[in-house]
Amino acid sequence: MTFSFATPMLADKGIAQLAKLLGLLPAQCEVVCNDFGVLRLVTQGFHGLQPVAGRQLCKMIKDPRLPSADWAKAIPP
């Protein structure tokens, strides 16, 4: 059985607290990163964990520079 640990967007204080929790996770556990600070923490400090980009890091289609009408047809809200 695999385990995924989802994280919210965090400020610096939250990232410091998250570091304590990440140390308790088993190796090869997925960590869903919704913040670039969390992603950096996982990749640089916890090599046994597998970072996964969360929804808040994958919002490229909501970029205002993209043609929104075309993207709205291709991807549901």
Looking at per-residue confidence, does 28 or 57 come out higher? Answer: 28
Q: What is the pLDDT of residue 57?
A: 76
Extended beta strands in 1-77, E state: 4-6, 30-33, 50-53
Taking residues 45-49, what's their average pLDDT?
Answer: 94
Q: What is the pLDDT of residue 39?
A: 94
Q: pTM of the predicted model, to two decimals?
A: 0.70
Distance of alpha carbon 2 from alpha carbon 4, whole angstroms: 7
CB atoms within 10 A of CB 39: 18
With pLDDT > 70 as the criterion, what percentage of the chain qualifies?
Answer: 73
